[in-house]
């Protein structure tokens, strides 16, 4: 999920911060999100493969349910976004009306991926030696993921506020 989150945030930020023409922004935004989705699917596949090899049950933790929810909503968001914002023939008023929901939904899915990463770290920390090097690394990673997620969310919200007001 961390790789998904990094690619997803890159796609979010490229659309809101990189100066290029609108069509190029849309293309890069869509393609980087496609890469993020492929990486996310690979991560889910790897988790299921690991569980099968370890003869461990699937989908028993909050982390796994949040992760499946995040990747599923991400796929839905990408498909709807492709249909509304990329396919020719969609009326400009439809695109304009859908844009705020697309931005809010995308940000919510990104924050859900942050939540999935955090719950995965909590799950991993349960098996780490308290106060040990691994536990400290997990905690520092969690703090940085949280700060990064907050920074991406704040950047998007500030850019959107600047565009509309």
pLDDT digit string (tens) for 137-164?
999 999 999 999 999 999 988 888 887 7
Q: What is the pLDDT of residues 18-37, one digit of tens each?
A: 788 988 888 999 999 999 99
Contact 72, 112 (CB under 8 A): no
**Rounded Cα–Cα distance for residues 52 and 46 (Å):** 10
Model pTM score: 0.88
**Rounded Cα–Cα distance for residues 59 and 48 (Å):** 9
Q: What is the pLDDT of residues 32-62, one digit of tens each?
A: 999 999 999 999 999 999 999 988 888 899 9
Which residue from 7, 121, 20 is spatially nearest to 66, judged by alpha carbons? 121
Burial label for 147, CB within 10 Å (0-12, 13-18, 19+), is exposed
Domain around 94:
2-164
Q: In CATH, what number is assigned to the domain containing residue 105?
A: 1.20.120.1770
Count of the separate structural domains present in the chain: 1
Q: Six-digit token pair at 17? A: 């911060």
Residue 126 in 3-state DSSP? coil
pLDDT higher than 90, residue 131? no
The whole-number pLDDT of residue 7 equals 77
pLDDT higher than 80, residue 2? no
Which residue from 18, 162, 107, 93 is spatially nearest to 27, judged by alpha carbons? 18
Most confident of 16-20, 29-33, 70-74, 123-127: 70-74
């Amino acid at each position: 999920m961390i790789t998904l989150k990094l690619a997803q945030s890159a796609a979010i930020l490229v659309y809101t911060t990189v100066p290029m023409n609108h069509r190029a922004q849309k293309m890069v935004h869509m393609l980087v999100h496609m890469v993020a989705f492929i990486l996310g699917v690979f991560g889910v596949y790897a988790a299921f493969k690991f569980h099968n090899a370890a003869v461990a049950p699937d989908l028993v933790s909050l982390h796994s349910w949040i992760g499946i929810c995040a990747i599923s909503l991400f796929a839905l968001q990408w498909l709807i976004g492709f249909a509304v914002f990329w396919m020719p023939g969609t009326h400009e008023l439809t695109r304009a009306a859908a844009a705020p929901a697309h931005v809010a939904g995308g940000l919510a899915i990104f924050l859900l991926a942050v939540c999935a990463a955090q719950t995965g770290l909590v799950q991993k920390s349960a098996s780490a030696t308290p106060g040990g090097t691994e536990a400290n690394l997990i905690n520092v990673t969690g703090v940085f993921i949280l700060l990064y997620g907050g920074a991406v969310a704040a950047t998007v919200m500030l850019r959107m506020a600047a565009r509309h007001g």
